[in-house]
Amino acid sequence: MTAEKIEMPEAATRSLLAKSAFAGLDGISHLCAGGETPVLMSHSDAVAGFFVDKADGMIGRERMMQLHGQVKKRLGTLLDLPAGDIAFFLNSSDGVATALSALDLRSGDNIVVARGDFNSLALNASLAAQVSGAELRFAGDKMVFNEDEIAAEVDRNTAAILVSHVSHLTGRRCELSRLRGIADACGARLIVDVSHSLGAMPIAGDLCDVVISCAYKWQLGVHGCAVFAVNSARWPDLIARTVGWHAIEDTNDWRNADGFCARVDATRFEAGNPPFMALYVLDNGLATLMAHEAAAREMHILGLTAQIKSVLNDHGVPVLTPASPEERAGNVAFAAKDPMSIVEALRRRNVFVWGGENRVRISAHIYNDTDDVTAFAAALGEIDQGLLPHPKREPR
């Protein structure tokens, strides 16, 4: 079927956020939010605002701290958690390591991670298991994993389940309520990476013990800042393993070096200065994103990923991402033996997608529209069909 014959859901026909709001999108169909999003033009003003505040002495410093709190409030809304539960690290891997370090693992304990999940989860879990003598268990043996496979690996000795809400690899969205039930049945902590859903899909952060995310994908931020949220209702005594001036209650007394008290909220995990410049950018990105209602963002993105799946189905490409909207988010992926050749062929036609790990990933965000999907369909029809997988050619 040609691109012109594809039926496009009306809800996703036009972008929610104009492409002109971004740098470098002229003539480009940017379908790789799961890797990098383009940069908002208004980020220049956000960074300039940071420069002004940084130069304005103690009053400027107060404004920097106010923005620090404002970003936490925005994220609390997206995560359904109190702002006080949120802290900032330099990257999401630091958050995984921090959560695992508080588990008090012992020989005989185990940690469960899906084989097809993001490798930072498995890498940190593997290191924690080696140090403690605990066991690392992998759920499933395929790219696409599900909750049943995780449930099959847990037992009364499971200390933690580490999982991505939305798979970077296949685009499958997990059911957090089901994962919470699995964790509760064995008394395990549920540590969830939401890097591929934060800002795009609703997130029930109250069901998780810890939520971790980068801030440069669907969040419209940049690198150098990551979200670490500890659910104070579920894990109030999670201990910070590092300490610094920012993590303690300020007594304003230089003689009190041996009598400090850690902050009671998640700021206790921020040992030193927060990543202020990245936070100014993130605040602008979240404000831009949240100007559109959460339901509208979700419907728009799901409408576009349905269209992308339709294009791939029309080309006979076996899609890894589930068809059900409940199991789908902003990523659509298909397995490929030579993903980078496909990525490069599409890029030559001004269609940007992401590739690697034996799959090609196409992502949709609120700045995308049906024209982008049509451009993708046309470009896909023009590239060497020998590069594309086909059910009859692919080994089962």
pLDDT tens string 108-138: 999 999 999 999 999 999 999 999 999 999 9
Higher pLDDT, 255 or 295: 295
Closest by alpha carbon to 220, among 159, 283, 271, 163?
283
Helix (H, G, I), strand (E, B) or coil at 215: coil
User: Does residue 396 lie within any of the structural domains?
Assistant: no
User: Does residue 394 lie within any of the structural domains?
Assistant: no
One-letter amino acid of 84: G
Confidence tier at 245 by pLDDT (50, 70, 90): low
Residue 395's pLDDT is 39
Whether 115 contacts 144, CB under 8 Å: no
Residue 6's pLDDT is 38
Residues in CB range of 170: below 8 A, 6 or more apart: 116, 143, 144, 320, 321, 331, 333, 359
Instruction: Assess whether pLDDT exceeds 50 at residue 394.
Output: no
Domain with 26, as residue range(s), is 3-40+294-387
157 and 265 share one domain:
yes
Domain containing 281 — which CATH number? 3.40.640.10
Instruction: Assess whether pLDDT exceeds 50 at residue 393.
Output: no
User: Does residue 100 lie within any of the structural domains?
Assistant: yes
281 and 299 share one domain:
no
Residues in CB range of 51: below 8 A, 6 or more apart: none
116 and 147 share one domain:
yes
Q: Tell me the backbone φ, ψ of residue 373, rounded to 5 degrees.
A: -65, -40
308 and 280 share one domain:
no
Confidence tier at 384 by pLDDT (50, 70, 90): confident
User: Does residue 392 lie within any of the structural domains?
Assistant: no
Confidence tier at 33 by pLDDT (50, 70, 90): very high
Long-range contacts of 333-336 (CB under 8 A, 24+ apart): 333/169, 333/170, 333/171, 333/359, 333/360, 333/361, 333/362, 334/359, 334/360, 334/389, 335/143, 335/359, 335/389, 335/394, 336/360, 336/387, 336/388, 336/389
Instruction: Assess whether pLDDT exceeds 70 at residue 150.
Output: yes
Closest by alpha carbon to 229, among 208, 245, 203, 202?
208
One-letter amino acid of 89: F
User: Does residue 202 lie within any of the structural domains?
Assistant: yes
Helix (H, G, I), strand (E, B) or coil at 119: helix
201 and 127 share one domain:
yes
Percent over 90 (pLDDT), the chain: 84
Across the range 304-329, mean pLDDT stands at 95
Host H or E run for residue 65: helix 57-79
Rounded to whole angstroms, the Cα distance separating 306 from 313 reads 10
User: Does residue 393 lie within any of the structural domains?
Assistant: no
172 and 68 share one domain:
yes
Closest by alpha carbon to 276, among 221, 234, 233, 329?
221
Domain containing 370 — which CATH number? 3.90.1150.10
Last residue of a domain, one of 261, 290, 319: 290
201 and 324 share one domain:
no
Strands 351-352 and 29-30, how do they pair? parallel
The predicted model scores a pTM of: 0.93
Across the range 252-256, mean pLDDT stands at 71
User: Does residue 264 lie within any of the structural domains?
Assistant: yes
Rounded to whole angstroms, the Cα distance separating 192 from 167 reads 11
* Number of separate domains in the chain: 2
Strands 210-214 and 226-230, how do they pair? antiparallel
353 and 213 share one domain:
no
Whether 276 contacts 50, CB under 8 Å: yes
Residues in CB range of 388: below 8 A, 6 or more apart: 315, 316, 317, 336, 342, 380
Q: How many CB atoms lie within 10 A of CB 187?
A: 11
Helix (H, G, I), strand (E, B) or coil at 389: coil
Rounded to whole angstroms, the Cα distance separating 373 from 363 reads 10
Last residue of a domain, one of 290, 311, 341: 290
User: Does residue 49 lie within any of the structural domains?
Assistant: no
Strands 189-193 and 158-164, how do they pair? parallel
Half-sphere exposure at residue 356, Cβ-oriented, CA atoms within 13 angstroms: 7
One-letter amino acid of 50: F
Across the range 288-305, mean pLDDT stands at 97
Based on its alpha-carbon atoms, the radius of gyration of the chain, rounded to whole angstroms, reads: 22
Host H or E run for residue 45: helix 43-54
Instruction: Assess whether pLDDT exceeds 50 at residue 107.
Output: yes
Across the range 174-192, mean pLDDT stands at 98
Last residue of a domain, one of 243, 263, 290: 290
239 and 335 share one domain:
no
335 and 379 share one domain:
yes
272 and 355 share one domain:
no
251 and 309 share one domain:
no
Angle (nearest 5°) at CA 111 between 83 and 144 = 85
